[in-house]
């Protein structure tokens, strides 16, 4: 039997072209089982001919799709092209699949779907394949059957992630490295519970979510980074995508110290106002942090607290942002408009909060209600959800309002998204100009 394993990342009009970090962590496990691994990033709406041509070139025995909720429509389409291929085992995983495995089993043609983190389920599946055991009882996978599905709940998530190592060599080099910059993830999960975010829902697929937020020991993180730098010696800048590296003060201070001493490359980090202190900012600065990204989401305190479940008030946020900026670290903000019943005046407050902070740049996206989140339920109760087919047509959160709105609400929402984005573009131009002068 061919031992060729093909990962397919579905990313059509997703607003992002880069690596899939989840797949980077799964690839070493597949390789360990002596498979040849290939990764395809589908970024255009391929027809059957294009799809089959790409498949034939590799002759896989397993095809593993990965996608977010925004790409599920294409999972249906592409897995449909493989419906007659009983020689290929087709599986799917990722955030979009984890949040609604029942939908995926019903509406797509994949043989099995993985719920939650894939390391243990993939290991078990490949083990069962090589030892010719019954696949349909593999933990963490729902298997399609003619009438219903074989449902095997996920095993407990890996508590100690210190030995997990991503393999970025499976991706095209231009996806991994952009102008010497690389994106990395060190931890898993989050301690907060923002109503619009999928994190809580992702952790709740486990029988116990206790300990879901995990950071490897500092030594292992440095080892992981060193391994990546051996594979990609051209790296000159690291973007850490983790939400919460600074949330554990003791861990972060130790990490910053070791990172500055051993890795010593400039980097970007995500921050939350609650975790910023002068000690943290000093540690960031002294270890080479050049940029920090903070989620403001909305400038209206009431909306932020009651609808988004984010508690700090504006003055507190501004004070923390100043601490970062005064240390000479560029600050970028994330903002969202188009929450259920959000008024123009509230979006104006988001604009005004940004003006008070004067960030080096940032983005403003449209709210999208992800299944199993608290805000999805709020939208449902308030009759704000779009019909399912319309939701599936929205392939990212950058292009359009994503809940039911009347024409005037929609116009206001688009107006403010554009207003905040154009402010960000101006701020970014100023930042670039001042960087060129220094």
375 binds ligand SF4 (CB under 6 A): no
Pick what 192 binds: ligand B12, ligand SF4, none; C-beta below 5 to 8 Å, kind-dependent. ligand SF4
Q: Which of residues 76-105 bind ligand B12 (CB under 6 A)?
A: 91-96, 98-99
Whole-angstrom distance, CA of residue 348 vs CA of residue 360: 19
d(CA 179, CA 222): 22
* b/e map 22-53, b = 16+ CB within 10 Å: bbbbbbebbeebebebbbbbbeeebeeeebee
Does position 209 interact with ligand B12 (CB under 6 A)? The reply is: no
Per partner kind, with CB cut-offs from 5 to 8 A, the member of ligand SF4, ligand B12, none near residue 11 is ligand B12
Residue of 192, 232, 237, 316 interacting with ligand SF4 (CB under 6 A):
192
334 binds ligand SF4 (CB under 6 A): no
- The least CB distance from residue 346 to ligand B12, in Å, is 20
115, 120, 194, 280: residue in contact with ligand SF4 (rule CB under 6 A): 194
Specify whether the CB–CB gap between 269 and 245 falls below 8 A: yes
**By the rule CB under 6 A, 306 interacts with ligand SF4:** no
What number of chain residues touch ligand SF4 (CB under 6 A)? 7
Q: Which two tokens stand for residue 422?
A: 């154009």
Structure tokens at 254: 């130790």
For residue 10, the cross-strand partners are 42
Question: Minimum distance between the CB of residue 34 and ligand SF4, rounded to whole angstroms?
Answer: 36
- What value does the CA radius of gyration of the chain take, rounded to a whole number of Å? 22
Contacting residue, 68, 195, 268, 298, with ligand B12 by CB under 6 A? 68
Cα–Cα separations (whole angstroms), residue 216 to 148, 199, 213, 320:
39, 19, 10, 27
Q: What is the DSSP letter of 421?
A: H
Is 412 one of the binding residues for ligand SF4 (CB under 6 A)? no
Does 246 sit near ligand SF4 (CB under 6 A)?
no
CB 99 within 8 A of CB 370: yes
Q: Which two tokens stand for residue 34?
A: 């002596």
Q: Determine, following the binding rule CB under 6 A, whether residue 331 of this chain makes contact with ligand SF4.
A: no
64 binds ligand SF4 (CB under 6 A): no
For tokens 């298997």, name the residue.
Answer: 143
Residues that bind ligand B12 (CB under 6 A): 11, 14-16, 18, 20-23, 25-26, 64, 66, 68-70, 91-96, 98-99, 114, 117-119, 121-122, 185, 190, 197-199, 202, 241, 243, 370, 396-398
Residues that bind ligand SF4 (CB under 6 A): 190, 192-194, 197, 199, 243
């Amino acid at each position: 039997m061919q031992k060729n394993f093909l990962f397919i990342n579905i990313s059509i009009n997703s607003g992002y072209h880069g690596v899939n970090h989840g797949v980077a962590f799964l690839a070493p496990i597949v390789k360990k089982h002596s498979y040849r691994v290939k990764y395809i990033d589908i970024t255009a709406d391929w027809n059957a001919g294009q799809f089959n041509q790409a498949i034939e070139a590799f002759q896989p025995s397993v095809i593993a799709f990965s996608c977010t909720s925004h790409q599920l429509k294409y999972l249906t389409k592409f897995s449909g092209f493989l419906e007659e291929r009983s020689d290929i085992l087709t599986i799917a995983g990722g955030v979009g699949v984890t949040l609604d495995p029942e939908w995926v089993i019903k509406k797509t043609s994949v043989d099995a779907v993985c719920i939650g983190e894939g390391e243990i389920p993939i290991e078990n599946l490949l083990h069962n394949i090589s030892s010719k055991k019954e696949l349909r009882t593999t933990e963490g996978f729902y298997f399609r059957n003619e009438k219903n599905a074989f449902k095997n709940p996920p095993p407990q998530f890996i508590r100690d992630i210190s030995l997990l190592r991503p393999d970025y060599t499976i991706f095209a080099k231009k996806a991994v490295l952009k102008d010497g910059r690389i994106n990395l993830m060190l931890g898993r999960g989050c301690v907060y519970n923002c109503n619009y975010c999928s994190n809580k829902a992702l952790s709740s697929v486990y029988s116990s979510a206790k300990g879901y937020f995990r950071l490897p020991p500092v030594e292992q993180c440095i080892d992981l980074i060193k391994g990546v730098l051996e594979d990609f010696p051209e790296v000159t800048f690291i973007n850490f995508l983790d939400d919460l590296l600074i949330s554990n003060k003791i861990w972060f201070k130790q990490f910053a110290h070791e990172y500055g001493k051993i890795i010593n490359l400039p980097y970007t980090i995500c921050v939350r106002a609650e975790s910023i202190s002068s000690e943290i900012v000093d540690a960031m600065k002294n270890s080479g942090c050049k940029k920090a990204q903070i989620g403001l989401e909305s400038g209206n305190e009431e909306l932020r607290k009651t609808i988004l479940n984010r508690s700090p008030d504006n003055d507190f946020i501004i004070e923390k942002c100043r601490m970062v900026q005064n240390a000479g670290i560029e600050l970028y903000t994330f903002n969202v408009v188009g929450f259920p019943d959000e008024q123009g005046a509230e979006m104006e407050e988001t604009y005004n909060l940004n003006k008070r902070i004067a960030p080096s740049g940032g983005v403003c996206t449209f709210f999208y209600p992800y299944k199993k989140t608290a805000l999805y339920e709020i939208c449902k109760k308030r009759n704000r959800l779009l019909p399912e087919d319309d939701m599936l047509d929205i392939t990212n959160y950058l292009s359009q309002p994503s809940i039911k709105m009347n024409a005037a609400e929609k116009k206001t929402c688009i107006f403010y998204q554009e207003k905040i984005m154009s402010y960000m573009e101006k701020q970014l131009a100023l930042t670039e100009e001042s960087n060129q002068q220094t």
